[in-house]
Every structure is written in structure tokens, then in C-alpha cells.
Chains A and B, each alone.
Chain A
């Protein structure tokens, strides 16, 4: 009867289980037997410190499905078929779970408060520390909190989760590179991404992409399955990063993957989600008649402005057909292309894991499959991954461990960036809406420099498949009880295969090219070996630790590519069938040798000092400066351990920290310091003789080239209040980068555009606030909030000459200004009487020239952060994450191309045109449409610079966990069903689709919104099961 009731009550769950492919035979539930009583156990559960009874604690008997709870007096009773002794598992929210053996009744069980945050083990460089003893500034993120956010790579999922970590998604294409900075941007020409370390392997995060997707790049981080990740640590201050020396200046992201536990029964975990994504907003485009009328208006206005153009009302393009025109505007049809390119995309994710261990072996096995379609056709991202982590205790003193991750990633790609040919988005957006999709004869019509959208949708054939292995083997040897040795060898191997085929219907493959196929195979292999010795000893109140180690690393990257054109017909797709074939090869190598050491000491858990240093030798640098040295020192004072705070109950912990040190950046080309001549500049000796080899100067040497060095000062305060229910971390930092690796512009008269030198200086300074609060901690209802806010100001302290970035030099790096500043003509207003834009004449010479361009705004936010609220009510859980950025500017490049006053023939897409000046007296900032003068010909108009601040509901998760007794009956440890929504709501004043959109993955390009789809709005349904 009861069973039937339960079945009815949870009928919908069964339906859901069936829906995701899981069916459990009902018979398993029906097999109930009458219990045989062998023992009766009475017990009490109390708080270990206060000795108060605890009501609502859960007591399970290990190995069987018998569970009970304490009453309001903390008492419980078991009547069971088990004979003494047996093991009890006692859990209570806010307390540590304990296993205790019951060998007779009654029993009193004392639970210790779970001081999770302070006792948390934090992974730091070459070791771990408890958060209580931490001297450096380190953020920890549990991957479980973010892994459901539907983006390709785990780094993109971290947005809003850690103070000091600025992340901008750049695009709505899954698996593409993102913008990520730890405490600001420190370099102009050396890569600014943090150093990624996965299980001790320095992860290569340079995209191997060679095919063009309009300036976009795939993210190598997306090869890692976020579900295999246990935790992510972000090392931020010099005390934490200096141990990574030459590569620490951009911060370090340490990823620890899941491992089994010794003496644990096998647990099978299964997680499945299915979801849907769509564009939260699409551009408002002008209809065919509107578009045509606007063109007429621009035509006539231009004719008035410059009579020589001979553009009049009489010869306007959209006049009646009988007058020789294209028909009146009203007669034009509207052909919508945007609707064709967007779709409701499907998202799928499946993970299956097995973990456990006996007394000498532990294991974690994970298999995952993830498929995410982009809301833009035909793009999708697919990853199959396999993970095996194994640890084996060989003797009391020796343990070896293995980490292996293999993944196969497949991408169906399209150009979602700059450039007209094959540009999926631009084709949909920039072709005038009155232009038909097909010619009168039914063939696909192409307009302007764009492809026919239907042709693209049906023929796009750009794919990438890569195979990635990331693995590490290590051995830990306990030489003496206090002295441990670890040796490890790791490999990161990536085989990246790209193929493109543009058939003769596409512009790129159109006759006379007759099909263009490219194939590129790139490989990246990194090997790394490390040896460390750690010593840890306590003498009374003196606690001392020391670490020394060395590492050797080598990287090789190579690409072999081929291209074929002129195919007999579109059925042939391999280069072997092409009439013209060319090939190419690329190879580069670098090596790094390092020595590092760290010494830490504390007295009675009160006074801490930690000194670290690393020496790095790199093959990349000039003969005179191959070695760099990076020291740091950190101190902290745990005031709580002093007697005067010992009795202040409200404060659970109070710690002051300070650190100072150097870290470096060496992310430049492997041979950047060399004077080089290149080959390949071939030319024939005689007519028809074919190219013979040629050589030419390539770059100038700089034997003095050295590391970029960032000196960082950090002061911080950690405070824990109200029985650790309120934890606050506050940091102030100042990062001063000197000897910035810079492609210093050279006068072109040298024959070179630039050369690598250590010239610039950049300063980042900022603050970080992190708050974690347990607002409500009740047996049935918990509410936790974590909040982080970071502000960073960046400015270029020294730069000999400005560096312009991107086409039309929209972005400029200039001394005294922040990076990613926009360089524009300042449109003051639109003259209400003439409709002409009036620009600021900075030098007052009466004309608007280059000298009047000025730095206006920049793409970096003043502050950013996130707020997470987690609620649990009985079996329900709800997580809400908001992310925000404030003060960043975005240049609306879509509008620039789309609403250009008629200067770009046929293009009038954005219905924002209604704001244009039309008649005297109109007050607007959109100038009168004309192709003459500065209104639209001046390509760097400040009018298009917009405030990109936003507040986004990044994710919302609602879950329901089946009560234990029900879960047990279906032979599972736990079962949770959940719903995840992402990007459900966005508050911004930006008029484009997404203030995070960016046209390129170029590291100095930020805040240019063009050609890329917005981040999707998604809903996913999931089930999480462990057996």
C-alpha cells in the first residue's frame, strides 16, 4: 500500500527518469522483508563544544539502508536486525560528519562544528595549506557550483565567482576563447592569460587554430570536462604566484581533478542534462520599404551636399520602374535573413563516473559527453572525454599516482567575426532587406561583398577535430617522517585537425577558384618533469616548512597545412583532387629550466612569514638575459590567536596579510629575441621558371630581451564572524609591470615595423572584497550568500609611442591612459539646423583632422563581480548567480557598418535609423544621412561608443533531491533532478545585443561588438544520480 502510494506520489519522477533514459524495475522496490530485531540502540547527539543536544541530526547505519533522526532532545533509537558492533554515520548541517562504531547501548555522540572555510585545504604552488594558515591571496572555486553553465570551457564558467578574476565571454559561440584577466592586464604584447595548471601540468592554452573564423579562436581549455574538476584555485598576489616565477605575473589558475578515496565503496555517479538555447534579443532591422526610403533620402541629401555627384530626386534609385528606377520604396519586399541564421539550439551533457578505493588503491574514472549547439547555425561544439586518476600505495613510504585525461573535441565552425566572405552573421545582418534572396531565375542571389545566406547555411563546411591528452605520473616518497620527496613527469599533447571546404557556390570557392579546400594538422606537445623536496617540522610553537625543487619543460608546436583550389566539381572535396595545390609547414620550440624554493615559518599560529623564490631560464630570451629571478615575501598576523581577542566571541578569526614580490611574463614568440631572416620569399629568375627560393630580413635581434617583471604589493584582511557564518576577505593590491615585452614600433624606414623590447610600464591597482555569509542555518532551510566585488584601474605608465589596434585604429594604447582605450573623433552634437555632426576641434585649427582624435573611454570596467545566493529547503535547492560589470565602454561596430548614412551602398539594417536628423529643429545625436562630409565618412565617431555596464542573471539552478529513504529504495545513494537557466535576464543601457560581445580574440582587441552572436539564453533539465 505504502509503496503504491509512494509510486503514485512520485509518478512524475518516474516519468522523468524514463525521459532521460533511466528505468528502474519496480520489482526492486517491492522486495521488502519484515525486519528481524537483533539489537536496540539508544543514543544522544550533542555539540562537542557546548554539550548541547542537537535536534535533527541524521544517523545512518553503514552498509544498510537504515536511517533515523534525533528528536528535540538530541535522542534517537534504532531497532535493527544488525548485531553489534556496527558503524553509524552521523550527519548534521554545520557539523563534521563522523563515523562511529556502536558496540552497545546507550551511546553519546559528540559532533564538532564544521569550520569548513577556515579548515579548507587550499591548493597553492607545489603544495597545500589550510585557509587558516594562508599567507597569500588565493580564491577557491568548487567546480560543482559552475559546471552546468553551458559554455565550452571551465574558465568561462568562473565568471562572477571569484574576486579579482575578470571574465568576459566575447561571444555566444561555445568553446571559443574568452577574455580572462587576473587583477588587470599587465602586458601589451605578451599574452595576458593566467597560467593554467591541471594536476601539475602546465596547460597549453594557445589556440592551434589556423583557419579563419574572422579573428576568433577556439579555446584549448574547452578540451577539459568541467565535471572532472574538483576545485579551482586562483593565485593572485606575489606571495602566491612568485613560486611560478616567469609565468606568474598574470595570476595562476590551478585545477585539481577528482580522485577516489581510500577505503570507500565504489560509487557510480551519473549526470545528464538536456537543454535549449535561444537568442535573448536580435537586431531590429529596417524593413525593405524603410531601407529603400532611407537610401533615397541619403541619395538626395548627398546630391544637395555635392552637386557634382548628380544625385537628385529625379534620379533617386527607388523611383517607379517606368521612370527607370527600382520601384518606389513602398513597392519593395522585405527579406528577413536574421531569422534564418538563428535557431533554438540543443544542449546535451552526460557524465558517468566511478570512484572508490581500498586500503592501498583509490581511483576515479570519468566519462563525459557534451554537445552544445550555437544559436547561430550551423555551429556546434562536441566533446567526449575520459578521465582516469589512480593512486597506489606501494609501501608505507611510497605512493604513486596517475592522472590521465583524454578528450576528443569536435567543432563545426563558421566565421563569427570580421570579414565579409563566409561571414555568417554579417551576411544575415548587413544585406539590405529589400534585396531578394534569389535571382529571378531562381539561383541564389549574392549582394555586395557577401555570400548568399542560404548557400552558406547549406554548404558551410569548416570543422575541427582535436585529440587532447593531459597526463601526469608522480611518486611521493617519505624519506624521513618530516622529509618528503616528489618526482613527476607530465605531458600535454594536442593533435588539432582542421578542414575547410568552400564549394563553388560560396564566394571563397566561386569560379574562377572552383572550390577551395584547406587542411591543417597542428600538434602541440609539452613535457614537464619536476622534483621537489618538502620538509616540515614543529618544535613546540615554532612551525617550520621548506620546499625546494626544480623543473624542466619543453614545448614543441608544429603545423603542416595544405590548400587546394580548382576542383572538377563540388563532389570532390579532398585536396588530392584539386588542380592547384600549395602546402605549408610551421615549427617552433621552447624550453624552460627552473629552480624554486619556499620557506615558511609561523610562531604559535600567530605570526607567519613565507619567503619564496624562483629562477627561470628560458630559451626565448636574449643571450644576455636568459635567466630571471623572482622572489617574494609574505607575512601575516593572526590577531585572533592573541590573548586580547581570545575571549571576543563574535570574532572567530582575524588575520592581516601583506606580501611583496616579483613575478614575470614570458608569453612571447619562441624566437622573438633573435635576429632572423626568413625563407620562402621566392621569385623566378626567368619567365616561366617558377619560384626559386628567396630570403629576406624578418626581424631584428635584441640580445638584451628579458622577462617582463611585475612587482606586486598586496595587503589583505580576513575576518570571520558569528561562529564563522560571516567571512570577509578584503585585499588591496598594486601591480607595477616594468620592462614590458613590447613590439616597439620602429620607424618604417628601418624596413621593420617593430621589434621586441622591454620598454613599457603598466600599472594595475585595485581592491577586492569577498563575502561569504550563511544567512540562515536551520535544519530545514539554509540560505548562503557569497558576494565578490573587484575594482581595477589600469594605466600605461610608459610607452614611447602609441600603438594603434584593429582596423581603423579604433583602439589605441597610449602613455597615461588605460589599455583598450578608444581613439575617436568626439562628436559634440548634431546641429539641429543643418543635421550635420559637429566634432570637437581639439587643436582649434578650424578643421577636423587626425590631430583632433582623442582617447575616449575604454573597454575595461571600473568594477565587476558576482553575487551567488544558495537556498536549500528540505529537499529543494536553489542557486542564483548574478554577474555584473560597471564602467566599461563598447564600440557598436554593428551599427557602424549597418547604419552608415548611405556611405555603404545598400546597407541600412538597424531600425535605429528612425532617430536620424530629418528636418531643421530635430534634436538628435544621429546625423543627417549623407555620403558627403564628416557625418558618416569619419569612421571613428564617438557617437557609437556606448556604456557597456551590465547586470546579468548568469545562472539560476533549481534542484530537488529525493529523500534518502526513497533514494535507497531505488538502490541509489542520492538522486537529484534540477533545472538550470542561464543568461535569463540582462540589464544594460547598451543598445546592441550583448555588451560582452567582441569581434576578435586578439589580446589587445576588446569592446568592439561586431559580427558575433550574443550569449544565448538557455534552459537545461538535468538528473544527477549516484549509486
Chain B
């Protein structure tokens, strides 16, 4: 140190300068992570950042969604990236880049929720930062964390549960995977918390108490807790002032529509924060790459007036006769990411009612018909429990063709073997990304992927 000091004083130029202050440079584009959520404004900005993570390309922007529909039976892979083809063929490998991307995008979202839950909870109240505001922000974080763990559980089964923010490189690693049941239990805890904290307002692009109810309805569907499904779905369906099926089907997305009455929860994009989803669907003529496209079987179904009805607007054809999906089409690429639509609540209530059978079958039929009528279709004509369940399954296939449902539906109902011919049940969950197992030895690979 003495030498350094000595040298410091030799050149006259340096006499006035302290070396260390010369070397202090503060970034202007980012801020230090030492003081991030300190007041009302910074709490709000952090919550917005959390939604941006939820809407990120590899989560609800594109990749997570694509795994949900590519793994079903409506889509064929037409592009150059075999990673997409692996989902279509149910031959997903542990080094699949999309699998790794979704895994990290979801945990990235979770880390943002954990920061908010941890730091907003201890913020002092101020005139501009009321208890209601605080509850709302916390509730939104709990909701998003619930959704994130729900999606993790759907894709991978049990996952490690991290509920605290990452502040250093040693945080949030090394936990073993929880069981599926434990993971779903965490989802419920967060949803309960969100339900209490969130205001009962309508906001289609942010979580409210009603959004939490809607997700609870879906949650209980996966848990086969039919009474609860009915209860929570009904709360939304009955709120007719705010949520209703739009006529015709295309009204919820065509003509640049956003946040219509159809939508319970969707994510917003802008010219600055675009949604690249369209690029994978649209043909080159329209500035896309058409990485994947509706397959012939689905095109036949959706363009059949008796099956697809007015939902045929989901697909379109290029001048050279190639079909492409047209749910995501805007320019600038601001297509919303649809997470929960009212149609889903009708169909999950229909399913819950059909599952309960007996007197509830009629209600199930009415719920199903609500969605069919909107698509311009007459009654499915089935009244039996099994017939209805199958009709609901098929209805969901068309209704949510390009939203992430079909794969998860077939897995949760145990129908994947029959419908997709996928008998190896080890393929019902994805592999833990191979590179993650290398960096975190606590992670154990799912069966069949070693």
C-alpha cells in the first residue's frame, strides 16, 4: 500500500486527485440493488416489473404458451428449430432449449414476486401509501407466485419451493424438489393470501380478487374438487356486468381488440414491450417465420361449420395455400397473452358439473352450450355424463386451440394415452433442464429423462 501511495504522489497531475474517488463510476441505466423497494412508488414499479416477467417471451409471451399447445394435437412444426418439434412428437430431451428457457423464466418471475412479498410487507404506511395499496401490491405478488408455481407443477410435477428473494449468489439454490402435492399446496396458500389481500375490482390486465377466484376455479379443476370449481367459476360467470362471452368468437381478439369483456386475465404489450408470439405463427409474407402451424386435422375441424363454427377465424391461408394460425397477428406486435377467458370458466364449470353427474348434468350442458352458441353452433346433443365430458374435451380443443390448454387437459384427465397415443406416462412431465441439474445437484431428474 505504501508503494501505491508513494506512486500516487509522484506525478503532479495526480496530486489533487484521490485515486479511489477517480475510480467511482455510477451506472445511469440501472440502480443499485441495495435500495430497491423503499416506498410507494418503488413498490409499484417493482410490481409492474413482476408483470413484465410474467409477460416475458419465454413465459406467457411465447415459449410457455407454445409448450402447452405444441404438445397437444393441433399443431405441426414447420420451422427450423427441432426444439419445437420435440414437443409435437412428445420426444422432449433434457437439453431442449425451450424447456430450459421456460424453467428460468418462471423462476425469474417468482424471484420478482418474492422481492415484493418480502419488502413491501415491511414498508411503513404513508399518506400516499395506504393499507389498501399495500394489500393490493402484496396480493398481486401472491397471485403471480401462485400462477407461477401452478405452471411449474403442471409442466414438471413437484419443484423446489423458493419463497424468499435472491440477494446473493448463494440464495435460493440447493433445495430438493417438493412433491407435486406440496407444490400445489403452496399454490393454494398463495391464492388464499391473494384472495384476502386483493380488492374486488375488475382489472383485466392486473390481478384482482376476481382474478384469484378464476385461477382458484382452475386450480380446483386440476385438483378434481368439483364443488369448489363450481363455486369459484360461478362467482365470475355471475358477474355478467363485467364478464361475458362475446359474439362472435373473433370479437375478443380481432381488429386489435384488447381487454374485452371476454377476458378475465390477460397480459398487455405495447410497441415498446412487444410480444414476439406472432412471429412464430405468421407466414413470411406477413413478417413471421411460421415456425409452427395448425395441422391438417385441426384445420379440417376448425373449418367445419358444425365443429369450428365461427372459430374458423383462428386460421387463415396464404396465397400459396399454407395454413397459419391467426390469433396472434398484430403490428406492432402487441397481441395480448390470454391467460383466463370467461369461456374457460364456462367450460370448467361444465366439466365440474358433468363430473358430479346427476342433476348437475343439465347445468353442464347449458354451460357447454353457452360456449357453443357463441361459436354459432347448435347443441352437442349429448346428455350423458361421458358424452358430455368428451364433448367438453373436444370443445376445449377448438376453443383454446392456440392457448396453452390442450396438453394440460389431456394429462390431468388421464386421456393422453388414448387421444395422443402417448402411453409412456413418464412423458407427461417435462425433463428438468439438463444444465440445471449440473449447476444444482439437489435437483433430481424426472424418470425416463436420465
Contact = CB atoms under 8 A, between A and B. Distances in A.
Interface of A: 308, 420-421, 439, 445-451, 507-514, 529, 531, 548, 550, 552, 565-566, 580-582, 585-591, 593, 595, 615, 617-619, 626-627, 670-671, 674-679, 681-688, 690-698, 700-702, 744-753, 755, 757, 800-802, 804, 807-809, 845, 849-851, 853, 897, 903-905, 937, 939
B30 A677 contact: yes
13 contacts: A446-B285, A450-B284, A508-B287, A511-B286, A512-B331, A674-B33, A683-B55, A687-B268, A697-B166, A701-B33, A747-B174, A748-B433, A752-B111
A508 B284 CA distance: 9
| 4 closest residue pairs by CB, A with B | A751-B111, A694-B48, A748-B104, A696-B49
B95 A593 contact: no
Given A510-B285, A670-B25, A750-B171, A697 B52 contact: no
Nearest to A940: B95
B166 A550 contact: no
Contacts of B167: 675, 700
Interface of B is mostly: loop
Given A446-B284, A694-B52, A850 B289 contact: no
Contacts of A449: 79-80, 284, 288-290
Interface stretch (B16-24, B184-192, B305-313, B407-415): B16-24
Contacts of A748: 100, 103-104, 107-108, 433, 436
A248 to B, nearest CB: 18
Contact of A514 (B13, B331, B440): B331
A684 B22 contact: no
Nearest to B278: A512
A588 B286 CA distance: 37
Nearest to A931: B85
A618 B175 CA distance: 37
Interface stretch (B203-211, B231-239, B359-367): B203-211
A692 B169 contact: no
Given A681-B48, A695-B49, 13 more contacts: A445-B320, A446-B284, A450-B284, A507-B285, A513-B287, A615-B4, A618-B23, A682-B273, A684-B205, A695-B45, A748-B104, A749-B107, A800-B439
Nearest to A753: B104
A590 B28 CA distance: 12
Contacts of A618: 23
B20 A617 contact: yes
Contacts of B13: 529, 531, 552
Contacts, number: 288
A513 B167 CA distance: 41
A512 B329 contact: yes
Nearest to B114: A751
B276 interface: no
Contacts of B100: 748
Interface in B37-67: 42, 44-53, 55
Contact of A697 (B7, B19, B33, B81): B33
A801 B289 contact: no
A446 B284 CA distance: 7
A480 to B, nearest CB: 17
B273 A750 contact: no
A687 B23 contact: no
B122 interface: no
Interface string B94-119: 11010010011001101110110000
A891 to B, nearest CB: 16
B19 A617 contact: yes
A509 B332 CA distance: 11
A682 B52 contact: yes
Given A626-B20, A676-B32, A750 B172 contact: yes
Contacts of B27: 588, 670-671, 674, 676
Contacts of A512: 286-287, 329-331
Contacts of B50: 696
B287 A510 contact: yes
A615 B95 contact: no
B242 to A, nearest CB: 12
A848 to B, nearest CB: 9
A539 to B, nearest CB: 25
Contacts of B24: 619
B315 interface: no
B4 A695 contact: no
A158 B49 CA distance: 49
A595 B10 CA distance: 10
Given A531-B13, A686-B205, A801-B435, A746 B169 contact: yes
Contacts of B104: 748, 753
B17 to A, nearest CB: 8
A585 B107 CA distance: 28
B205 A849 contact: no
Interface in B420-450: 421, 433-436, 438-440, 443, 449-450
Nearest to A550: B11
B22 A937 contact: no
A330 B435 CA distance: 48
Contacts of A619: 23-25
A41 to B, nearest CB: 56
A722 B381 CA distance: 105
Nearest to A529: B13
A72 to B, nearest CB: 62
Nearest to B50: A696
B48 A686 contact: no
B270 interface: yes
A694 B206 contact: no
A691 B53 contact: no
Nearest to A533: B10
Contacts of A757: 169
Contacts of A903: 82, 85
B332 A750 contact: no
B31 A897 contact: no
B249 to A, nearest CB: 21
B32 A675 contact: yes
A684 B273 CA distance: 11
A123 B203 CA distance: 70
A413 to B, nearest CB: 21
Given A684-B268, A751-B110, A850 B434 contact: yes
A687 B52 contact: no
B23 A593 contact: yes
Contacts of A681: 48-49, 52-53, 273
Contact of A589 (B10, B25, B79): B25
Contacts of A617: 19-20, 22-23
Contacts of A750: 107, 111, 166, 169, 171-173
Contact of A702 (B30, B82, B107, B169): B169
A676 B11 contact: no
Contacts of A905: 78
A682 B111 CA distance: 17
Interface string B258-301: 11000000001011110000000000111111100000000000
B97 A809 contact: yes
A595 B2 CA distance: 13
Given A580-B271, A802-B438, A849-B94, A550 B85 contact: no
Nearest to A516: B287
B36 interface: yes
Contacts of B224: none
Contacts of A588: 27, 29
Contacts of B93: 849-850
A694 B45 contact: yes
B34 interface: yes
Contacts of A585: 29
Nearest to B101: A748
Interface string B317-344: 0011000000001111000000000000
B95 A853 contact: yes
A761 B82 CA distance: 34
A595 B4 contact: yes
Given A691-B270, A695-B46, A937 B82 contact: yes
